[in-house]
Amino acid sequence: MKEQIPTKHTSGAPTPVNNFLHPRLITKTLLTVGLCCALLGCAKNPDTQESPKIMINNVNVVDPVDGLIAQQQVVIQEDKIVYVGPIDKIKAADSDTIIDATGQFLMPGLWDMHVHFLYDEALTDTMPELFLRYGVTSVRDTGGDVKKLAALREALKDTPAPRIYFSGPLLDGEFVIYDGGDPSRPPLGASVLNAESAMKTVSALKIAGADFIKIYELIDPATYNSLAAAAKEFDMPIASHVPLMMTADVAGPIAGSMEHLRNIELACAANWQELLTQRQAAITGFTEGLGYTLRSDLHSAQRIPAINAYDETRCNEVLDTLTNTIQVPTLRLNTILMLKPFERPDWPSAATALPQKVLENWQASIAMLDANSLGIDHTFANWSQFLIARLLERGVPIGAGTDAPIGFGIPGYSLHTELELLVAGGMSTRQAIYSATMTPAKFLGLEDTMGQIKVGMAADLVLLSENPLENIEHSRSIINVMSRGLWVE
């Protein structure tokens, strides 16, 4: 699953994101007929009525695989793209909507590969609107109560909302990191102790509607393998942190994606075996306390020493095992204390869309960070940025995710920051767009139906005033967003 087609990008002035109103439908779909009639103009059956089409004319198509295709006609019928090509091949009917998009750019709807709808339930109901506002038409929820997530998806099915794919809880070990003990560790996790419980857990998640599973950091190696076997049996992809008792080159090839670039630093250290032995002993000997504290203490003790002991030859060996495992770096989260996105000129305006209580809590936390900023170590932030070029060099696929709303992640808005950081780390603009369109679709086996502007693909689209292939910041220049064949305002 190697990343495709490097392209160069050029700099340009940033374009601020549009401030949209609340989403509402402005186009309505009717009944459908065969695709051949839509494309070839064959005779209509007098007893049927063809669904109206949306025809976007003279638009510059931004495709993550093919690049820029100038002055195209894109035709949408119901929730599918039915034509892409020269203008006027498809004749308009009286019921059709025609849009002149001369000088504008059309790219596939974006994905955020790492979100948590239930991390702060005061924000849950606002997140779908925010995602769509910023052109994020699909998301992968990577940890939360499976019943609540299934109910959320069901409640949103007839409203303007992104497509939601979810894992259910973070599958952890005897000690659960996100156990619900306080706001810093809401109840996102669940304990899985052995092969028998692994099979029961994955079976129950499948029945409840989960699309994939998410394995967390305190799982032991035997149970990790049992969960992987159960996921394979139920045809469910695996997203995973690197378990603390394993290394990235052992756990990573089993998973479809790995999150945050976390724990790769240990595997890339010259003394990785010594560090792993220390880590395993600490976890094995931990008999009482909080999983959250155990995880935090191990990261604090080992992360920076591991980065300081970086061995490029060893790291090449590790990365070469991950060419079929998508890395979701969440750079905007990893670098937040160093780059301080809340100091961006457009951040205050974007933050006004948050519920007032959430915004007040975030502002208080930001003030505390500012007061203690001198003591913050940015080694891992710099390591995360450094690793992007290494992943590209070794052919490791990269997916765009943010961990929103964790760490002041404004849903939707933060995805564009992630794209900018991926480009700053070494990706071309087209690779960055690919990471937020085709790569997420591939994780779920949806690449034949989502991620490009092609006939038969889902009509999830973002209309822009500027070309994101010239400057990735132009991904923010949103004119309008289409989700499931319907424009949202």
Instruction: Specify whether 31 is located in the same domain as 129.
Output: no
Of the candidates 470, 412, 477, the residue with the CA atom closest to the CA atom of residue 129:
412
Residue 36 has pLDDT above 80, yes or no: no
For residues 230 and 197, is the Cβ–Cβ distance under 8 A? no
Domain with residue 478: its CATH number is 2.30.40.10
Instruction: Specify whether 44 is located in the same domain as 143.
Output: no
Instruction: Specify whether 216 is located in the same domain as 260.
Output: yes
Residue 387 has pLDDT above 90, yes or no: yes
Instruction: Specify whether 40 is located in the same domain as 175.
Output: no
Q: Per residue in 323-367, pLDDT tens?
A: 999 999 999 999 999 999 999 999 999 999 999 999 999 999 999
Instruction: Specify whether 116 is located in the same domain as 245.
Output: yes
Residue 60 has pLDDT above 90, yes or no: yes
Residue 121 has pLDDT above 70, yes or no: yes
Q: Which domain holds residue 458?
A: 8-108+451-489
**Is residue 1, in this structure, part of any structural domain at all?**
no
Residue 4 has pLDDT above 50, yes or no: no
At position 20, the amino acid (one-letter code) is F
**Is residue 103, in this structure, part of any structural domain at all?**
yes
For residues 33 and 51, is the Cβ–Cβ distance under 8 A? yes
Instruction: Specify whether 195 is located in the same domain as 252.
Output: yes
Residues near 126 by beta carbon (within 8 Å), at least 6 away in sequence: 353, 354, 355, 411
Residues near 228 by beta carbon (within 8 Å), at least 6 away in sequence: 215, 238, 254, 255
Q: Per residue in 403-436, pLDDT tens?
A: 999 999 999 999 999 999 999 999 999 999 999 9
For residues 338 and 386, is the Cβ–Cβ distance under 8 A? no
At position 411, the amino acid (one-letter code) is P
Cα angle 448-438-113, degrees, rounded to a multiple of 5? 120
Token code pair at residue 413: 């808005």
Instruction: Specify whether 83 is located in the same domain as 145.
Output: no
**Is residue 390, in this structure, part of any structural domain at all?**
yes
**Is residue 3, in this structure, part of any structural domain at all?**
no
Number of domains in the chain: 2
**Is residue 283, in this structure, part of any structural domain at all?**
yes
Please compute the mean of the pLDDT values over residues 457-477 and round it to a whole number.
Answer: 98
β-strand pairing of 80-85 with 67-77: antiparallel
Residue 26 has pLDDT above 60, yes or no: no
Instruction: Work out the angle between the directed axes of helices 291-308 and 379-393 (0-180°, nearest 10).
Output: 70
Instruction: Specify whether 288 is located in the same domain as 389.
Output: yes
Residue 372 is predicted with a pLDDT of: 79
Instruction: Specify whether 103 is located in the same domain as 116.
Output: no
For the chain, give the mean pLDDT: 91
Q: Per residue in 258-274, pLDDT tens?
A: 999 999 999 999 999 99
Residue 12 is predicted with a pLDDT of: 33
Residues near 410 by beta carbon (within 8 Å), at least 6 away in sequence: 130, 347, 350, 351, 353, 354, 404
Please compute the mean of the pLDDT values over residues 39-47 and round it to a whole number.
Answer: 37
Q: Per residue in 272-329, pLDDT tens?
A: 999 999 999 999 999 999 999 999 999 999 999 999 999 999 999 999 999 999 999 9
Gap between the Cα atoms of 66 and 480, Å rounded: 22
Q: pLDDT category, 22, cuts 50, 70, 90?
A: very low
**Is residue 273, in this structure, part of any structural domain at all?**
yes
HEC profile of the chain: CCCCCCCCCCCCCCCCCCCCCCCCECCCCCCCCCHHHHHHCCCCCCCCCCCCEEEEEEEEEEECCCEEEEEEEEEEECCEEEEEECCCCCCCCCCCEEEECCCCEEEECEEEEEECCCCCCCCHHHHHHHHHHCCEEEEEECCCCHHHHHHHHHHCCCCCCCEEEECCCEEECCCCCCCCCCCCCCCCEEECCCHHHHHHHHHHHHHHCCCCEEECCCCCHHHHHHHHHHHHHCCCCEEECCCCCCCHHHHHHHCCEEECCCCHHHHCECCHHHHHHHHHHHHHCCCCCCHHHHHHHHHHHHHHHHHHCECHHHHHHHHCCCCCCEEECCHHHHCHHHHCHHHCCCHHHHHCCCCHHHHHHHHHHHHHHHHCHHHCCCHHHHHHHHHHHHHHHCCCCECCCCCECCCCCCCCHHHHHHHHHHHHCCCCHHHHHHHCCHHHHHHCCCCCCCCCCCCCCECCEEEECCCCCCCHHHHHCEEEEEECCEEEC
Residue 49 is predicted with a pLDDT of: 65
Instruction: Specify whether 437 is located in the same domain as 353.
Output: yes
Gap between the Cα atoms of 126 and 392, Å rounded: 35
Q: Is 277 exposed, middle or buried (0-12, 13-18, 19+ CB in 10 A)?
A: exposed
**Is residue 143, in this structure, part of any structural domain at all?**
yes
Residue 88 is predicted with a pLDDT of: 78
**Is residue 202, in this structure, part of any structural domain at all?**
yes
Instruction: Specify whether 176 is located in the same domain as 220.
Output: yes
Residue 34 has pLDDT above 90, yes or no: no
Instruction: Specify whether 59 is located in the same domain as 134.
Output: no
Token code pair at residue 430: 């087209």
Domain with residue 345: its CATH number is 3.20.20.140
Gap between the Cα atoms of 478 and 115, Å rounded: 21
This prediction has a pTM of 0.90
